[in-house]
Each structure stands twice: as C-alpha cells, then as structure tokens.
Amino acid sequence: MSEKFKNLPLRSGVGIILLNKDNKVFVAKRIDNPKDFWQMPQGGVDKGEDFLSAAYRELEEETNIKNVRLIKELDGMTKYELPKNLLGIIWKGKYRGQKQKWFLMKFLGNEDEINLKTNKPEFLDWRWIDLEMITEVVVDFKLHVYKEIKSKVKKIIN
C-alpha cells in the first residue's frame, strides 16, 4: 500500500447474513463489478447511528427488505483492506478499507418484497445460496471476511 493511503482510517460498517426459511443465504450481484461476484448486504454506519440500526437501514436501502428477525449479533469485528485499484476511488477516497459488525437475521417476508430497484441501486440481481457457497462467490479481497462469517454462522445454525 502506498504511503498516501496507509494512514487512511477504516470505515465503520455493518453486514447482514440473511437466511430464508431453508437457511439459504441472500446474496446480490453488484452493479459496479462486471465480474460474477456476489455479496451479502452491507454498508456504512452513519454518524450517531448504532450498528444494529445501520444494519436494518442498509438492508432496506439496498433490498427493500423490512420483514426480518434478528437471530444474533456476531462476536467481534471483521476487517478488510481495499485492493490497490480501488484505493482513493471508492468512499470518496477517505478510507483504506472497512471494519464491520455482522448480524445474522431471518427473512420473514415474501420474496416479492425484495426489490433491488431502490433510490440508489447497488445490485443487479439476487439469489439464495447454501452457506457453504458464500466463499466461492465473493470478491477475493473480502474472502477472509466471508470465511470467518461462514464459520461463525455454522456454529449458530447447526
């Protein structure tokens, strides 16, 4: 990492592992990545906002999903650094990566509630996948985060 970026802070963020009735995980394909990478809903924490409120807000902003039940706040925080090609570009160049608090939630609504055509769309498509698959569909710089999350979620739902 170049000198000009290494002193940038990590952005505070949240992530949501959303399970359906069959314990499949919700993932969505980003608009801004032409490759076949998928991710779980996630985003930044606004000033004065707590992590759980941010998780509910981000989930609704990105997917229109409101009908959920919190299962568990995962222990600890996860961190990732942006790859060189994204440093200085995303988040207006203010951050070198993210530190995230993750929440496991159950989807209680009908699938017609899911709508990616939001005010500021981030995703092109969505689907439910097996928990085992999340590490196979994620962009490489977030792989360690998804491995950690998968391990923690397996302990909770098994």
Query: pLDDT digits over 46-72, tens only?
Result: 999 999 999 999 999 999 999 999 999
pTM value is 0.93
Contact assessment for residue 55 and residue 73, using Cβ atoms and an 8 Å cutoff? no
The pLDDT value given to residue 18: 98
Q: Could you list the residue range(s) of the whole structural domain that residue 30 is in? A: 3-157
The pLDDT value given to residue 2: 66
Tens-digit pLDDT profile for residues 69-85: 999 999 999 999 998 88
The pLDDT value given to residue 109: 96
DSSP 22-78: T-PEEEEEETT--SS-EE--EEEPPTT--HHHHHHHHHHHHH----EEEEEEPSS-E
Q: Is 134 helix (H, G, I), strand (E, B) or coil?
A: helix
Cross-strand bridge partners of residue 101: 14
Contact assessment for residue 63 and residue 108, using Cβ atoms and an 8 Å cutoff? no
Tens-digit pLDDT profile for residues 93-135: 899 999 999 999 999 999 999 999 998 899 999 999 999 999 9
Is 60 exceeded by the pLDDT of residue 1?
no
Number of domains in the chain: 1
CATH code at 66? 3.90.79.10
pLDDT band at 11; cut points 50, 70, 90:
very high
